[in-house]
Amino acid sequence: MFLPRETHPVSVTLNPLMTEMMLLTWGSPMVPFPGGVTLLTAQMQESWRSPQSRSLQGKLLFEVTDATVVQEGSSKYVLYAIHVIQSEIFDRTPALITRRYTDFERLHTQLRHRHGDKMEGVCFPRKKLRRNFAAETIAKRSRAFEQYLSHLHSLTELRHVPTFLEFFYLGDLRAGQVLLRDECYQEALGFFLNAHRLQEKLGCQSQHQQRAHWLFTLLALVACFQELDQLGEAQEHCDHALQDLAPSQHSLQQQQYLHPLLIPLLQANVRLSWKISKDKRQWEALLLEIQDSGVDIGNQPSLKEYLVKEVLEDGEGDPKLMVKGLVERPEDTPLPYFVHNNC
C-alpha cells in the first residue's frame, strides 16, 4: 500500500483552466498538481496501517491513500485519492480516482433523487463550517468516504446502478476523449486504461446499461494502442470487443440487427492481425458472410471517427439527452487545461 511522506498542510493553487479539467474528470488521477504536494499526518498514516480501519465489503476495497489541500482562487478544498482494489486476490492493477467533498455530495444527491427507496440507512458525512482542513477532520472524513463507498457497493440494489458506477469511470472516459480528439494518444491512453480497470473491478462488462461505455473504452484502447504502434495490444482489445459484438450464425441467417460498429471493428481486426502475423481467417470469413447477406461493408466510418464524435452521457440523466450514434460534442463540454500544452 502506498503511503506518502508525512508533511504539513500545504495549499496548491489551481488556475481556471485547471479547474475546468477537474470538473471534466470528477477529479481524475491524471490531473497534475504543481510539485505533487500532498497532505498526510502521522495520525492518518497510523489509521491506514490499521486493518480495522479499512472498509471491506463485498469484493472491493475502497482506500483513501492521499489527501491534498487545493487553493483555487479565494476558495480552498481537500482532494482525496482513493484506490479501488480487489480484496479477495492480490490486485496487481489497482485503479485510482481523486474526488473532493462536493463530488461525493453530488453522488449522494443523485442517488437519493433517483433511488431514494434504496438509500435508507446510507449515512453521508455532514459538512463542517470550521476546521475543514485540520488533520483530524481530514482523517475522519477519509474513513467516512471509505465506509460510504463500501456501504453503497455492499447493497445489491445500488451496486450496479449507472449513477454509482459512472461516478468512478465516466470522467476518465470524457477526459480521454478530449485528448483523443487532439491526437494526444499517450496522454489519452492513461485515462482509458484507468477507466478500463475501474469498469472491470465494478463489473460493468456484464451490465447491460453499461455496455455502450464498456465498448467505447475497448475501442478507445484499440485506437490509442494502434496510433502508438503497440499493435499486439490493439488487436487484443479488438478481440475483446468482438466477443460482445460478433453475431451468432442464427442472427446472420435471419438478417437480424448488426451493431453499426461491427464492420469497422472487423476491418480493423483483420488489418491488425495481418500486421502481427496472427490468424485472421475467422474475421475475414465473417466479413465475407456479412457482405454476402447484402450489407455494404464499404464506406464505413473508422473507429476513431466514432470515438471523437460520440457523446458520453450520464446513463440515468435526462432521456432527451441520451444520444446514440455519431453526434457532435456539446459546445459546453469543458476542455482539459493541459491538452494543448502536453501533447
Q: What is the pLDDT of residue 343?
A: 65
- 246 falls within a domain: yes
- Chain Cα centroid distance, residue 65: 19
Whether 141 is covered by a domain: the verdict is: yes
In a domain, 299, yes or no: yes
Burial state string for 2-27 with b = 16 or more CB within 10 A and e = fewer than 16: eebeeeebeebebeeebbbbbebbbb
pLDDT at 117: 93
Distance CA 343, CA 339 (A): 6
At 173 the three-state DSSP class reads helix
Q: Please, what are the averages of pLDDT over each run of 10 residues along the chain (343 residues)?
A: 38 44 44 38 42 50 94 90 87 91 96 94 86 90 96 93 95 96 97 96 88 95 97 96 84 75 94 96 92 87 92 70 34 34 53
For residues 280 and 227, membership in a common domain is answered with yes
219 and 142 housed in the same domain: no
- Is 2 inside a domain boundary? no
Residue where a domain stops, chosen among 140, 159, 178: 159
Other C-beta atoms closer than 10 Å to the C-beta of 217 total 29
Residue 77, helix vs strand vs coil: strand
Instruction: Provide the whole-model pTM.
Output: 0.77
Q: Do residues 56 and 152 share a domain?
A: yes
Together in a domain, 265 and 119: no
CATH of the domain at 135: 3.30.1520.10
Q: Could you tell me if 225 and 206 lie in one domain? A: yes
| Alpha-helix residue ranges (DSSP H) falling in the chain | 16-25, 42-49, 101-115, 135-154, 162-181, 185-202, 211-227, 231-245, 249-253, 262-275, 281-292, 303-309, 339-342
Single out the residue in 143, 159, 175 at which a domain terminates.
159
Statement to judge: residues 127 and 48 lie in one domain: yes
DSSP 317: S
Same domain, 210 and 301: yes
Q: Which domain holds residue 306?
A: 163-342
In a domain, 4, yes or no: no
Statement to judge: residues 144 and 195 lie in one domain: no
Q: Is residue 149 part of a domain?
A: yes
Residue 6 lies in a domain: no
Q: What is the CATH number of the domain that holds 294?
A: 1.25.40
Of the candidates 83, 253, 247, 60, the residue with the CA atom closest to the CA atom of residue 160? 60
**Mean pLDDT for the chain?**
79
Q: Point out the domain boundary residue: 159, 193, 228.
A: 159
Q: So what's the pLDDT on residue 232? A: 97
Q: pLDDT at position 14, please?
A: 44
Does 5 map to a domain?
A: no
Claim to verify: residue 183 and residue 128 sit in the same structural domain = no
125 shares its domain with 206: no
End-to-end Cα distance, the chain: 31
- Same domain for 132 and 274, yes or no, is no
For residues 124 and 185, membership in a common domain is answered with no
What is the number of structural domains in the chain? 2
